Amino acid sequence: MIPLEYYLLLAAALFCIGIYGLVTSRNVIRVLMSIELLLNAVNLNIMAFSNYLDPATATGQAFAVFVISIAAAESAVGLAIILAIYRNRDTVDMEAFNLLKW
């Protein structure tokens, strides 16, 4: 059986890549994609724990289904916000969205 640590390390690496993309990318769509990477890393963690620590009841799989549905809602609303802000400011540059910056 594959050790649990391999899955956790893979999820940690995916999470760190997502954080890097979230902070450094300039295109607003790429920020949304990085958030999807983060959610997938968390889901992979949940599924690994579910399979190794509590394999008989599949509670973690139900959790993962909830996370997937909420991620779908998040991406739909996020894209709508991006469309609205693009129509207002006519750019996709994250550095230009500084209305709330002081």
Partner 1 sequence: MTLAEGVQLVSFGLLAIMVIGTALGVVLLPNIVYSAFLLGGVFISIAGLYVLLNAGFVAAAQILIYVGAVNILILFGIMLVNKNQPFSPVRRGWIRLLATGGVCLGLFALLATVVFGTSWQISSAVPAGDQATVLIGIHLFTDFLLPFELASILLLMAMIGAIVLARREFIPDETPADAVSDALTLPERPRELVSATGETTED
Name residues contacting partner 1, limited to 40-59 (CB under 8 A): 40, 43-44, 47-48, 50-59
Q: Is 100 in the site for partner 1 (CB under 8 A)?
A: no
CB of 14 to partner 1, least distance (A): 6
CB of 99 to partner 1, least distance (A): 7
What angle separates helix 4-24 from helix 28-53, to the nearest 10 degrees? 170
- Partners of 27 in beta bridges: 93
Per-position b or e across 38-56, b if 16+ CB within 10 A of its CB = bbbbbbbbbbbbbbbeeee
Binding mask 3-42 for partner 1 (x = CB under 8 A): -xxxxxxx-xxxxxxxxxx-xxxxxxxx-xxx-xx--x--
Residues 66-95 that bind partner 1 (CB under 8 A): 66, 68-77, 79-84, 86-93, 95
- Partners of 93 in beta bridges: 27
